[in-house]
């Protein structure tokens, strides 16, 4: 079992902006949410190494919303225990983690709308929206709102 699956099963996530796949792959995100939203994919990294060096860098999560996806699976939205955090997770129909995206300063994610062709529009409590592809979530397609 991968480290992210172990954390997910305990309702925890690492406090490092990034995307975490169930197979153990992890990629960092460079993210800014104020005064405007900017997200860029960073490098791959080892979650195990990160947690060995930063064992306290985990947060307890609260799931706010579950959205059934017509093509299968469920999207879960919520926050971490520090209030400014947010996450988007995609789980299989048997409730196994596919991937989870975590941001330390995004604010909680509160709603999502399924779009055609496996795209999902996700809304933060900070009034911006991200569009991502459920099959290839590492590339956030677009960002709407919260511009200056």
**pLDDT tens-digit map of 118-136:** 899 999 999 899 999 999 9
What percent of the chain is modeled with pLDDT above 70? 98
Q: pTM of the prediction?
A: 0.95
CATH code of the domain made up of 3-144: 2.40.128
Domain ranges of the chain: 3-144
131 Cβ contact partners less than 8 Å away, ≥ 6 residues apart: 115, 119, 120, 121, 122, 140, 141, 142, 143, 144
CB 84 within 8 A of CB 91: no
Dump the DSSP string for 85-114.
-EEEEEE-TTS-EEEEEEESSS--EEEEEE
């Amino acid at each position: 079992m991968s480290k992210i699956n172990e954390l997910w099963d305990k309702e925890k996530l690492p406090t490092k902006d990034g995307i975490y796949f169930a197979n153990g792959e992890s990629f960092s995100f460079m993210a800014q949410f104020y005064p405007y939203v900017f997200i860029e994919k960073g490098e791959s990294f080892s979650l195990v190494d990160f947690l060995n060096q930063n064992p306290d860098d985990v947060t307890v999560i609260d799931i706010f919303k579950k959205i059934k996806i017509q093509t299968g699976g469920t999207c879960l939205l919520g926050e971490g225990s520090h209030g400014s955090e947010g996450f988007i997770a995609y789980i299989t129909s048997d409730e196994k983690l596919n991937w989870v995206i975590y941001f330390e300063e995004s604010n909680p994610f509160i709603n999502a709308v399924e779009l055609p062709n496996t795209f999902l529009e996700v809304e933060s409590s900070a009034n911006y929206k991200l569009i991502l592809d459920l099959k290839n979530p590492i590339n956030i397609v677009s960002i709407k709102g919260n511009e200056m």
